[in-house]
Amino acid sequence: MAKRFLYLLALFLITSRVAFGLNTSFFKNEGGQNTFILGASTDSQTRETIPNPEEPFIFSALPSFDEQIKTSVITADARPEIVRQYLHKFGSPLEPYSNLIVVLSDQYQFDYRWLVAIAQQESNLCKRIPENSYNCWGWGIYGDKVTRFDNYEDALRRIAPQFTKIFLKGKHSRDPMEVMKTYTPPSDGSWANGVSQFFDHLE
């Protein structure tokens, strides 16, 4: 009985050692990483590296991604900003009404530059006007007679429709020389030349 036990024990130890040796041949440690060896023969071994979970895992190259950037471009009306910058340049009190000037011009269907160009010609953009008149356009001013408005907005809203009715009809809407004949007949042409120049500055 004792001999049989020793025989089985010896057989178990030999079998275990052989099995353990085969297992360790599948894994070799190279530089701190485990290498799994595939294939039976050493001539055709294929190695796959298994990362060590305790060490940082780094890709040899970052994955590539297709990125699509969609840009929404909103085209805004540049005219109010053109007017604002022009009025700001000359320190005009009309600057806060830049948007209103464009809105009224569109409403009454004339070039937005008229209100600014005539104000520049008549009053240096409201810097030379009768006191408390808010009248930057020389509108209804004859000698001692002065047409007055409550404020600049009131002046713009009341003058804009008159531009269309009286001065800016047909070719007049594009020709300062024709408008001058009605707006300020005594002018020798300097009025129209000035307005034309201010038109160019606002383009």
pLDDT in tens, 115-143: 999 999 999 999 999 999 999 998 888 77
DSSP alpha helices (H): ranges in 73-151? 79-89, 98-107, 113-123
Q: What is the pLDDT of residue 56?
A: 53
Domain 79-201 has CATH 1.10.530.10: yes
Cβ distance 88 to 97 under 8 Å?
A: no
Residue 173 CB neighbour total at 10 angstroms:
16
pLDDT (0 to 100) of residue 191? 83
- The CATH 1.10.530.10 portion of the chain extends over 79-201
pLDDT digits (tens, 9 = 90+) for 60-77: 454 554 444 333 333 468
How large is the average pLDDT for residues 162-190? 76
